[in-house]
Structure 1
Amino acid sequence: MATVAAALVLLALEIGHLPLLRYLDARRWQSRFRSDEEFDFDPNRRNRQEPPP
């Protein structure tokens, strides 16, 4: 079990340096997605419409 854990840690640390696994590195894809900070999200507001006056 320790061998599997060590292998997973090494894979996680070296994923950006291995040519075939470079496609899994999040930094490669970050330019294609918007940041969460760009969204105007209010957790207290539900997706309901205001009643007409």
Structure 2
Amino acid sequence: MKRDLAVILSAFILATLIAEIAGATNFGTALTFGQMAFAGALVFVLVRRP
């Protein structure tokens, strides 16, 4: 469970940082990309579970 949480949170943080570095208009826009990555990682973790 800790590994799943680490995957989800790291996806959120990395996507937010990448969007910010890539030149997002503001921090809210970067957080939106982080939220989309969070949702994708959550689906990945839930589907992968037995």
If the TM-score is normalised by the length of the shorter chain, which range does it land in? 0.3 to 0.5
Q: Which has the higher helix share?
A: 2
Give the TM-score normalised by structure 1: 0.32
Normalising by structure 2, what TM-score?
0.33
Higher Cα radius of gyration: 1
